[in-house]
Amino acid sequence: MTTDKHRRWVGYSAAGRHRITVVAVALLLGLARPTAAKVEVFACEPEWGALAQELGGDDVAVFTATTAEQDPHHVQARPRLIAKMRRADLLVCTGAELEVGWLPLLLRQGNNPHIQQGQPGYFLAADYVEMLEKPEHLDRAEGDVHPGGNPHIQTDPRNIAKVADAVADRLAALDPGRAEAYGDRHADFARRWQEALQRWQARAEPLRGTPIVVHHTSWVYLEHWLGLVRVASLEPKPGVPPSAAHLAEVLTGLAVHPARLVIRTPYADPRPSAWLAERASIPAVVLPFTVGGTPAATDLFTLFDDTLTRLLVAVARHESATGAGARAPAMIGAFTTGMGDGGCGVREWLAARQPANRSGLSILSPIPQSPIPIPPSPLRLASRRDAGSGACSGPEVAQ
Ligand SMILES: [Zn+2]
């Protein structure tokens, strides 16, 4: 259907009146896309494949390039992916350089003009959400730091909602004959998603303030949404595998600023988490991260259901085993550990609870209203928000 698609694209880029003409001519020439033909979607990650399916229903054929067991930073541009890319009408990827190691190569080799950057068939989810952890300056010595901010946006369901709005619009623009169907499916999805969001937020309330260790900075948006507090990363820098020296440092740090969980994606090496979990006596938790990441995470809704279940179960187990609910972490001081990439989301969460510190800010524990009693920290953390851009900088520790 390559020729059909060319016709349709000419139609898209032309003014409405011309489009009708083009479609009419195409019909006369027998080139128009048969009404039954589906929009072929190439999704880079499972969450976007699932979203395109929710919104496109029977009107789309979705191919997802990666599984939940694959690290989306590192994917091989295999011939099968190139072949799929050649046929695609719509590319839906994360962006923010998550796929910088493989997508540009695929796009070149696929050589499909409709899904190249700037074309209506080129869609990046990161363009539609507020990015966290945008670096002040780009220094590759700081590891796998992306200029557009942390790309793992799908761990906050509020981001999924924003991307859903944009994907639905894009499908309708690409396939105007079925715009109404896309609109109906989107309205239905948005309603169910808002209901689920209320449910998730109520369920997650006990997690607020929970200090966590992460393997990779995969959870920034989840942390921001749920008010989890990242005290350390197992990777010394984003994308740099955990080293024995760094793990030992993290463990030492936990003696002063304990965490209650260590979290990783299904594709992360389980050994560093297991090592830390055993020595720090905290649960190691695998979260689905995307659709298919755990047996229960079969779609976007169960992705978040299972994420919360796993977090709540792990926290409850840890509490009943140790009485950790009463022995809280001095989380502010811990900000100095493993947060080389900023952690603005967490600082904003804290700032919201300490109004005096909203600007210019020096956050001191204890944090009022925290569900967990937090003893005073010996460390003081100074952050700075740019008055013009609203960007937050730091943190800097002032002893
Ligand atoms: Zn990453």
- Are residues 215 and 321 both part of a single domain? yes
Residues 382 and 339 in one domain: yes
**What is the tally of structural domains in the chain?**
2
Do residues 324 and 177 both lie within one domain? no
- Which of 197, 217, 243 finishes a domain? 197
Looking at the structure, tell me whether residues 123 and 103 fall in a common domain: yes
pLDDT for residue 317 = 85
- The answer, yes or no, to whether residue 384 has pLDDT greater than 50, is yes
Contacts of 151 (CB under 8 A, 6+ apart): 94, 95, 96, 97, 98, 126
Same domain, 269 and 362: yes
Q: Are residues 267 and 301 in the same domain?
A: yes
pTM metric for this prediction: 0.74
Q: Name the range with the highest mean pLDDT among 7-16, 209-218, 334-343.
A: 209-218
b/e map of 90-117 (b: 16 or more CB within 10 Å)? Answer: bbbbbbbbbbebbbebbbeebebebbee
CA of 137 to the centre of ligand 1 (A): 17
Q: How many angstroms separate the alpha carbon of residue 207 from the centre of ligand 1?
A: 23
Measured distance CA(174)–CA(182) in Å, rounded? 11
Q: In 3-state terms, what secondary structure has residue 90?
A: strand
Q: Which long-range contacts (CB under 8 A, 24 or more apart) does 355-362 make?
A: 359/385, 360/384, 360/385, 361/385, 362/398
User: How remote is the CA of residue 362 from the centroid of ligand 1, in Å?
Assistant: 28
Higher pLDDT, 98 or 359: 98
Query: 143 alpha carbon to ligand 1 midpoint, in Å?
Result: 10
Domain that holds residue 226: 208-397
| Residue 190 shares a structural domain with residue 323 | no
**214 in the same domain as 141:** no
Classify the C-alpha dihedral 209-215-221-222 as positive or negative: negative
Average pLDDT of the chain, as a whole number: 81
Do 158 and 192 lie in a common domain? yes
Higher pLDDT, 251 or 359: 251
- Single out the residue of 24, 21, 43 nearest to residue 154, CA to CA: 43
- Please name the amino acid found at residue 117: Q
Ligand 1 center–CA 239 separation, angstroms: 7
Domain annotation covers residue 241: yes
Q: Do residues 189 and 286 share a domain?
A: no
Is the model's pLDDT at 201 over the cut of 50? yes
Tell me whether residue 32 is in a domain. Answer: no
Beta strand 60-64 with 39-43: parallel, antiparallel or unpaired?
Answer: parallel
Q: Are residues 283 and 358 in the same domain?
A: yes
The tens digit of pLDDT for each residue in 296-334 reads 999 999 999 999 999 999 998 887 776 544 333 333 333
136 plus 49 within the same structural domain: yes
DSSP 9-56: HHHHHS-HHHHHHHHHHHHHTT-SPPTTPPEEEEESSHHHHHHHHHHH
Bridge partners (DSSP) listed for residue 232: 213
pLDDT one-digit tens code per residue, 36-59: 699 999 999 999 999 999 999 999
Residue pLDDT, tens place only, 136-177: 776 667 776 778 899 999 999 999 999 999 999 999 999 999
Tell me: pLDDT of 184 over 50: yes
Mean pLDDT calculated for residue range 106-135: 96
Predicted pLDDT of residue 383: 55
Instruction: Report CA(216)–ligand 1 centroid distance (Å).
Output: 7
Which stretch of DSSP H or E encloses residue 231? strand 229-233
CATH number at residue 69: 3.40.50.1980
